[in-house]
Amino acid sequence: MTDLGSPATANGRQIPAWIPTVGPGWAALLTDLHARLCELDEEYQVEDFSVDSGRLRLHVADRYDATGEVDVVFADAAVQLIDDAVRASAQTCDRCGAPGRPRFRGRGRSVGSLVRCDDCRTAPPVQPRPEGARTRPVQELSASGRC
Ligand SMILES: [Zn+2]
C-alpha cells in the first residue's frame, strides 16, 4: 500500500522531481503542466515519466472517490493536460525551448531522435543534471517545494 496522503511523498512523485532529467528547453512546459495538474489535485502522483526517442511519456496515478470508483473527471482532465504537454514537447527544442521538430541522429550503433530547433540541431543530447544544477526554473521549483 502506497502512502498517497503524505505531502513528502506527493512532492517526490510530482513533475518537479523529473525536470532535472530532461533538457532545460522543456522545463517551462513541464512547470506549466505541473501547475495545471495541481489545480486539479495538488497531490497528484506521477506514475510513469520517461523520454523515449525524444518523445515525452507521462502518466499520473488514478484517483479514487470515497466509494472506490476511479475519479473519471480527474482522469479525463489530467489526460487532456498531459496530451497537450506531450504535443507541445514534440515541437519544442529540448535544449533551448525554441520551436523545434524531431531530428533523427545516429550515435554509435544506436539511432535516436531529439526535438531540436535549427540552431541546436547539432548539439549533443542533454545529459541529466544533478539536482539543483544550472537552470533557474529548476532551482526556483526546488526552493518552493510543491504546489
Ligand atoms: Zn534550440
DSSP state letters, 67-85:
TS-B-HHHHHHHHHHHHHH
Each of the 147 residues of the chain gets a pLDDT tens digit; together they read: 444 444 444 567 999 999 999 999 999 999 999 999 999 999 999 999 999 878 899 999 999 988 999 999 999 999 999 999 999 999 999 999 999 999 987 756 667 788 999 999 888 777 665 554 444 444 444 444 556
Q: 100 CA distance to ligand 1 centroid (A)?
A: 7
Q: 116 CA distance to ligand 1 centroid (A)?
A: 5
Give just the sign of the alpha carbon dihedral 69, 74, 77, 82: negative
Whole-prediction pTM: 0.76
Q: Whole-angstrom Cα distance, residue 92 to residue 21?
A: 16
Q: 99 CA distance to ligand 1 centroid (A)?
A: 7
